[in-house]
Amino acid sequence: MKGSYILLLNLKEDVTVNIGKLGKLDLKKGSYVYVGSALNSLESRINRHLRRNKKIHWHIDYLLDFALITDVFVKENSVKEECKVAQFFTKKLIPIKGFGCSDCKCRSHLFYGRYDEIIGIIKKLNMKKYPLKEKP
């Protein structure tokens, strides 16, 4: 499967996270959404994010040491749509500047906001809930 995905994240407390070259970010407790894509194997990418022990490679890897993935949503597609998906969140949520978008011109691929706002946007995108094997 190829396409875009959304990780719905929860931070239980305020944290300061060192995100590689991006530097230190102060993040408030609450709900976050991360937008990504995988044009090789969407399932493998998502399963990698769900694993605790992995080599740190992307910005999201640093954050996942602190945040809990509560849900994953996917949209199958053979073209890269993560920037298009991220734009929907930019309009309603608070973008975390520079996060996850070092290879594009987006402001961010990580957003902070109220859980109900995040879910409302995801519903408008018609993305399917990805079954988690175990509740993280």
- pLDDT at position 53 over 50: yes
Q: What is the pLDDT of residues 10-50, one digit of tens each?
A: 999 999 999 988 999 999 999 999 999 998 889 999 999 99
Residue with tokens 């931070």: 11
Q: What is the pLDDT of residues 67-101, one digit of tens each?
A: 999 999 999 988 889 999 999 999 899 999 999 99
Give the list of residues 6+ apart from residue 71 with CB closer than 8 angstroms, or none: 7, 8, 129, 130, 132
Residue with tokens 């991220």: 86
Domain ranges of the chain: 3-129
